[in-house]
Amino acid sequence: MDFSWLQDPFYQEYLIEGFVNTLWLLAVSAVAGMTLAVAVAMARLKGPRPLAMLAKGFTIVMRGTPLLVQLFFFYYGVGRLLEGIPGVQDSAIWPLLRDPFFYGALTFTLSVGAYSGEVLRGALASVPPGEREAGRAFGMSPFQVFARLWLPRAVQRCLPTLTGEMILLLKSVPLVSTIALMDLLQAANIIRDETFLVYEPLMLIAGIYLAMTVVLTLVLRQVERHFPGMQPTRRRRLPLRRAESAPCKH
C-alpha cells in the first residue's frame, strides 16, 4: 500500500475540492429536490388535470431512465443546445450555464423531485382527511392547513424513506465525475492517472464516502427522532413505562 501521494499538496487540493463539491451538490439537490418533490406530489394530488398529468409524466420519465443518461442529456444535450442560442453566451447567467456543477445539481434535483415526489404523494394521500377537515373547521386557510397540518403529517409518515433517498443521493454524486466536475471520484481518477496507483485512491474515497454516509445517517436519525410527534415510534422501541391509557383506535 502506497499512500505517499497524500503528501502532495496538489492531490490534497483535488480531494478537498472534490469533497466540498460533493457536499454542495448534496445540499443543493436535497433542498431544491425536496421542494420540487412537494410541488410534484401536490400537483398530482390536487392540481388541475393537465398539471397532474404533467407531473405524472415527469415522474415516469425521471424514474424510468438512468441517472447517468439524464446527466449526459442535460450536460451534453441541453447544455450544448443553450450554447448555440445567440446571446446566451453574453448573458448574465452564462457563467452558471457553463458550469458543470449547474447540470449536476439540476439533474439530481429533478431526480429527487421525481423519486421523493412519489413517496410524498403516497404519504400525503395516507393522512386521514379528518385532520385537514378539523383545520378547515377552525378557520385555517388552505395554505395553513397544508403547511401546518397536512405536510408535516405526511413527512412524519415517510421520513425514514425520505432519509433513505438522501443517502442514495449522496452515493449518486460520483456520476458527476463524467461531466468534468471535480468530485471525489474525479480526484481519485486524476491521482490514478498520474501515479498509476489504482486501489489506494479508490480506497481512500470509499472510506470518505462511508464516513459521510455514517454521519448523514446519524444526522438524519436525529431529525427523525426529533420530528414533531415521532415520539410514539421511539417509545414503542424502548421499553419505557407504558401509557396508562387504553390503546387508541387508529
Partner 1 sequence: MTSSSQALSPDASHRLAVEVHHLVKRYGDLEVLRDVSLEVPEGSVTSIIGASGSGKSTLLRCLNLLERPDQGDLAIADETIRFDRNPQGDIVGLDRRQLQRLRAKVSMVFQQFNLWPHLTVLGNVTEAPMRVQGLSKRRAIERAEHYLERVGMADKRDGYPAFLSGGQQQRVAIARALAMEPRLLLFDEPTSALDPERVSEVLGVIRDLAAEGRTMVMVTHEMAFAREVSDQVVFLDRGFVGEAGSPRQVFEESRDPRCRRFVAPAA
Which residues contact partner 1 by CB under 8 A?
A: 128, 130-131, 133-141, 144, 148-149, 152-153, 156, 227-229, 231-232, 243, 245-246, 248-250
Q: How far is the CB of 249 from partner 1 (least distance, A)?
A: 6
Q: How far is the CB of 147 from partner 1 (least distance, A)?
A: 10
Q: How far is the CB of 50 from partner 1 (least distance, A)?
A: 23
d(CA 69, CA 72): 5
Compute how many other C-beta atoms are within 10 angstroms of the C-beta atom of residue 150.
21
Q: Which is nearer to partner 1, 238 or 248 (CB)?
A: 248
Q: How far is the CB of 222 from partner 1 (least distance, A)?
A: 17
Q: How far is the CB of 107 from partner 1 (least distance, A)?
A: 33
Compute how many other C-beta atoms are within 10 angstroms of the C-beta atom of residue 233.
14
d(CA 244, CA 237): 17
d(CA 74, CA 179): 10
| 8 Å CB contact between 3 and 195 | no
Quick one: cell of 15? 480531494
Q: Map 98-162 to HEC letters.
A: HCHHHHHHHHHHHHHHHHHHHHHHHHHHHCCHHHHHHHHHCCCCHHHHHHHHHHHHHHHHHHHHH
Q: Which is nearer to partner 1, 9 or 229 (CB)?
A: 229
d(CA 121, CA 197): 47
Name the residue type at position 243.
A
Q: Which is nearer to partner 1, 84 or 139 (CB)?
A: 139
Q: Which is nearer to partner 1, 80 or 250 (CB)?
A: 250
Q: Which is nearer to partner 1, 168 or 243 (CB)?
A: 243
Q: How far is the CB of 239 from partner 1 (least distance, A)?
A: 15
Q: Which is nearer to partner 1, 4 or 141 (CB)?
A: 141
Q: Which is nearer to partner 1, 148 or 171 (CB)?
A: 148
Q: How far is the CB of 138 from partner 1 (least distance, A)?
A: 4
The CA-CA-CA angle for residues 239, 242, 246, to 5°, reads 145
